Structure 1
Amino acid sequence: MDFQPRAEFLTKSLHRADAWVDHFRRQEFPVLASSAEALEQLRANEDDVDAHLIGQTFANDPLMTLKVLIHASNLNRERRTADAETLTSAVVLMGITPFFNLLGPQPTLEDWLAGDSEALDGVDAVLGRAERASRFALGFAAHRMDPDADILHQAALLHDFAELLLWCHAPALAKTIRIHQKFDPGLRSKVAQQQVLGVDLMSLQKDLIRAWHLPAVFGHLLDERDPQDPQDRCVYLATRAARHSMLGWDNAGLPDDLTDIGALLNLGPIPTLRLLHDLAGDPLARGPDTTM
């Protein structure tokens, strides 16, 4: 049986950036089923829960992370002296009991898109890329002994959150973008998005960061342009390498990734490649001559 879209799913483009921002701001969105289940388990043991445990529990769910940051960013905003830049610090700002009060039982992504296997595959691809990019960013930051490693990990995890929201609220349009790129492999994602949506997702993402009053740090950490600041570059190269290596290690873009990551980390090509394999959970077989 063909998938019948929910009445609330968008099937036609809103065309203007401000209309997309307004729509996303007014909509609920789901989290991973594993996160929804873990939230209820933590709720049942609230007296034994702290912010660090909550941060660890949801560290790999970009949708849950985004939801918590949105709640925290709009809490006592006029009186705050600092932003919560990580999920853990957001929970500290909110307090444990208010956290559970603000986040009741959550809708799950799996139920939200139930019956639409193509949409589930699409969102799974974005989630897999996000998780991989966050591992790369954390590994690069650890190698550089960056004190903001947690923020860089989270920025890489959230790098494509607008695409996740599109799959949740307008799966038909997300599929159309994929079809355009499938039939025109040279078509850039930004151009395909503008053709279908009237706006590219990275620009929309920046508008949402401002509209939700998310920490300003994410505005530049999520920039797609080739940055020179080491922290921005850490996230940029992590997401680029994740995108190029998702389907294998023979992508034509990977040699440039290795060169740029090696320059950032002061590593030679082979140690850089080995590091990427290790961070991806796919260790590179060691040959007799692999030191540089």
Structure 2
Amino acid sequence: MPGTARLRITRPLPTLDAWVNAFASAEIPVLAETAAEINSLRELEDDVDAHQLTGLVTSDPLMSLKVLAFAGELRRGRLTNDTETVTAALVLMGISPFFRNFSDQPTLEERLADNEEALLGLSRVLQRAERASRFALSFAAHRADPDAAVITGAALLHDFAEMLLWVHAPDLALEIARRQEADSTLRSAVAQREVLGIELHELEQALMRRWHLPALLMRITDDKHARDNKVRCVYLAVRLARHLAHGWDNAALPDDLNDIAELLNLNPAHTLKLLHEFD
């Protein structure tokens, strides 16, 4: 599970393994609102259930990541199936152990208090993740997919390595953002490799393995399996949320619309209407 060390990286690390080791040993802060709500609910512990905690945890991508990683550690050596959702992870660990392990969380706002530009960049990624999770849930529900909860969680966590980069290496994250702002044709993976020496997708998959996250979650989060309809739900939801960050008149939206219409087996006009409703 994630470590407890405070980390601030200012220069690219030499290898993917070095990035994985650094991020895996680092403390992961969460939203101040999440930390405050956990502490508040702890006083009402006997009246709190897993469903109530699920709503709180899944409103914060990095809190979701911490809970799933903690559950992954608990599962090691046990004869138990993957805890593929936050709810399953909470049931596995129990309410009292949750509060014992997750009260008094470090916060993103405190960590980046001296870097307003980085906090803004991170906030945009968090907002994009929340939007993507809503789209993914809608796509999965429309398709009556039995793994809708896993698909929703995968969309929420799809870009968690980018979130962690803003936390642990804000200067490098800002450099990537500046390069892409200066060149609208520069692909994210290319910018990441230029600045970091790795792609964040590689780091993310390696961290998921290190933290023993569920195999299904890892697969659904991996765009390389995009022919799978579960993966396409996530991939298209994330892509749409990324493009909509620039408004509904983004030039890439017609392609998104056609691909989503194919996924949902609808015509483009009906799909556009649904997307506005989902949003």
TM over 0.5: yes
More helix by share: 2
- The offset of 1:185, in angstroms, is 2.1
| 8 A contact 1:155–1:218 mirrored in 2 | yes
Hey, what does 2:197 align to over in structure 1?
198
Distance in 2 of aligned mates of 1:236 and 1:226: 10
Name the SS of the counterpart of 1:115 in structure 2. Answer: coil
Hey, what does 1:246 align to over in structure 2?
245
Hey, what does 2:59 align to over in structure 1?
60
- The offset of 1:216, in angstroms, is 0.9
Hey, what does 2:126 align to over in structure 1?
127
Aligned 1:117-266 pairs, distance under 5 A: 117-225=116-224, 227-266=226-265
Distance in 2 of aligned mates of 1:196 and 1:29: 22
- The offset of 1:42, in angstroms, is 1.3
| 8 A contact 1:226–1:236 mirrored in 2 | no
- The offset of 1:125, in angstroms, is 0.9
| 8 A contact 2:223–2:231 mirrored in 1 | no
Hey, what does 2:9 align to over in structure 1?
10
Percentage of matched positions with identical amino acids: 55
Distance in 1 of aligned mates of 2:183 and 2:272: 30
Distance in 2 of aligned mates of 1:168 and 1:143: 35
Distance in 2 of aligned mates of 1:191 and 1:233: 22
Distance in 1 of aligned mates of 2:74 and 2:208: 15
Deviations 1:199-227 (CA, angstroms, capped at 9, x unpaired): 10001100001111111112221123471
- The offset of 1:237, in angstroms, is 0.7
Moved segments of 4+, more than 3 Å: none
Amino acid at match of 1:172: D
Deviates more, 1:239-248 or 1:217-226: 217-226
| 8 A contact 1:15–1:199 mirrored in 2 | no
Distance in 1 of aligned mates of 2:62 and 2:228: 27
Distance in 2 of aligned mates of 1:8 and 1:25: 10
| 8 A contact 2:219–2:225 mirrored in 1 | no
Distance in 1 of aligned mates of 2:249 and 2:100: 48
Name the SS of the counterpart of 1:28 in structure 2. Answer: coil
Hey, what does 2:3 align to over in structure 1?
none
TM-score, normalization by structure 1: 0.91
> Unaligned stretches of 5+ in structure 2?
1-5
Hey, what does 2:76 align to over in structure 1?
77
Aligned 1:86-101 pairs, distance under 5 A: 86-101=85-100
> Unaligned stretches of 5+ in structure 1?
1-6, 281-292
Distance in 1 of aligned mates of 2:209 and 2:225: 22
Hey, what does 2:272 align to over in structure 1?
273
| 8 A contact 2:35–2:103 mirrored in 1 | no
- 1:106 and 2:111 are equivalent in the alignment: no
Distance in 2 of aligned mates of 1:170 and 1:37: 25
Distance in 2 of aligned mates of 1:131 and 1:80: 33
Structure with bigger gyration radius: 1
Corresponding pairs, count: 274
Distance in 1 of aligned mates of 2:206 and 2:7: 22
